[in-house]
Amino acid sequence: MNNTVARVYRGKWLDLTHQAHVAVVDASGKLLYSLGNPERFTFIRSSAKPFQALVACESGAVEGYGLDDEALALLCASHSGEALHVKKVVEILKKAGLGEEVLQCGTHPSLSPAIAKTQPTLLTNAYSNCSGKHTGMLITARWLGEDITTYLEPSHPHQGRILDVLSQLSDTPKESIGLATDGCGVPVHALPLRAFALATARMANPRGLDAKRAAYLRRIAGAMMAHPFMVAGSGRACTRLMEEAKGEIFVKLGADGYYMAGIPSQGWGVTCKVEDGNMAICEGLIIHVLHQLGVLSQEGFDALESFHSPKRTNHRGEVVGRVAYDFVLTKHL
């Protein structure tokens, strides 16, 4: 199985190779394109956030607390902890009568090195890239009158609802979904690439689903595409890709080399996993995949060159290498 997707050169010499797996599925579950092993069982990490936001919608909390689409996009985010992200988290919690002290996601410097340099010395949990997701969990538990101090425990009803949604949309039995603990403390889910691509395709094309669920799925995808800054932040790949796609593609990264994309016009879901977990390579990979599928224009592809064809520089700023992608997806009849 030749699933090498990227080669890194130093000077004229090949230095590194990166292997990955890709699955492209339609809303009926048909595998359309693949690379490597489309059944690769792996943790979806933060790519699950749009589906976790669906649970907040279906609970009534999103409408009950009057969240707009910008706030909904933040519930799906792995944000950079920029001022607007933090402000919005605090505002959403306030709508539910909560303060940011109820967040249990932990904190860390911004995922963007440039933004990290501008942040306060002492960071609250609202700065965590996962604070939007945790906010969605908290306001749901508050809306339903559930314990908000244990919202991140696998036994909490909210975590059970998330598992139900992932199982239903991916056609994967709950007992077949792997469970562990994510970086922010909540349960994290593992399932085959092809299965999660199906769930993503159903967000891209929810026709045939329950009417209310379909409407929420459309709203979530639309919110992400309309407010890409809230999903990631300044100069981040998710934001830039959705900006260039101009409402045609929604994307969401996951940690350790995972990415998902939905294409509403085609009703397709795409999932990618880079074996060594390299996120920079995965960002370039999803861009190449979308371009190869014909859903990302040449203009958009060229505008994202810094992600898909980054130059390698040394500490003196000299260009010493490059990354090259060279693969062809297998098309399934």
- Helix H, strand E, coil C: the string for the chain is CCCEEEEEEECCEEEEEEEEEEEEEECCCCEEEEECCCCCEEECHHHHHHHHHHHHHHHCHHHHCCCCHHHHHHHCCCCCCCHHHHHHHHHHHHHCCCCHHHCCCCCCCCCCHHHHCCCCCCCCHHHCCCHHHHHHHHHHHHHCCCCCCCCCCCCCHHHHHHHHHHHHHHCCCHHHCEEEECCCCCEEEEEEHHHHHHHHHHHHCCCCCCHHHHHHHHHHHHHHHHCHHHHCCCCCHHHHHHHHHCCCCEEEEECCCEEEEEECCCCEEEEEEECCCCHHHHHHHHHHHHHHCCCCCHHHHHHCHHHHCCEEECCCCCEEEEEEECCCCEECC
Span 117-142, mean pLDDT?
Answer: 97
pLDDT score recorded for residue 123: 96
298/210 Cα distance (integer angstroms): 36
> What pLDDT sits at residue 100?
95
Cα–Cα distance measured from residue 71 to residue 132, given in angstroms and rounded to the nearest whole number: 9
- Angle of helix 157-170 relative to helix 131-143, nearest 10 degrees, comes to 110
Mean pLDDT of 113-136: 96
- Mean pLDDT calculated for residue range 246-256: 97
The pLDDT confidence band at residue 192, using thresholds 50, 70 and 90, is very high
pLDDT attached to residue 38: 98
Contact 329, 197 (CB under 8 A): no
Tell me the pTM.
0.97
CATH code of residue 19: 3.40.710
Average pLDDT over residues 271-279: 97
Average confidence score pLDDT of the chain: 97
- pLDDT score at 297: 95
Question: What confidence tens digit (pLDDT) does each residue in 58-103 have?
Answer: 999 999 999 999 999 999 999 999 999 999 999 999 999 999 999 9
Q: Is the pLDDT confidence value at 20 over 70?
A: yes
Mean pLDDT, range 4-31, rounded to an integer? 96
**Average pLDDT estimate for 143-167:** 98
Q: What angle do CA 315, 321, 324 make, to 5 degrees?
A: 140
Residue keyed to tokens 């907040």: 56
Mean pLDDT across 179-192: 98
The 10 Å Cβ neighbour count of residue 327 is 18
In the predicted structure, residue 1 carries a pLDDT above the cut 80 = no
Residues 105-133, mean pLDDT to the nearest whole number: 96
Task: With a cut of 70, say whether residue 53 has pLDDT above it.
Answer: yes
Distance CA 44, CA 73 (A): 18
Q: How confident is the model at residue 293 (pLDDT cuts 50, 70, 90)?
A: very high
Q: What percent of the chain has pLDDT over 90?
A: 97
Q: In the numeric block, which tokens belong to residue 42? A: 């792996």
Residue 27: band (very low, low, confident or very high) from pLDDT cuts 50, 70, 90: very high
| Pairing between β-strand 31-35 and β-strand 268-274 as defined by DSSP bridges | unpaired
Specify the pLDDT at position 144. Answer: 98
The domain total for the chain is 1
How large is the average pLDDT for residues 305-320? 91
Query: Please, which residues have CB within 8 angstroms of residue 84's CB and are 6 or more apart in sequence?
Result: 229, 230
**Burial profile 161-200: b = 16 or more Cβ within 10 angstroms, e = fewer:** bbbebbbbbbebeeeebeeeebbbebbbbebbbbbbbbbb
Structural domain boundaries, residue 107:
4-331
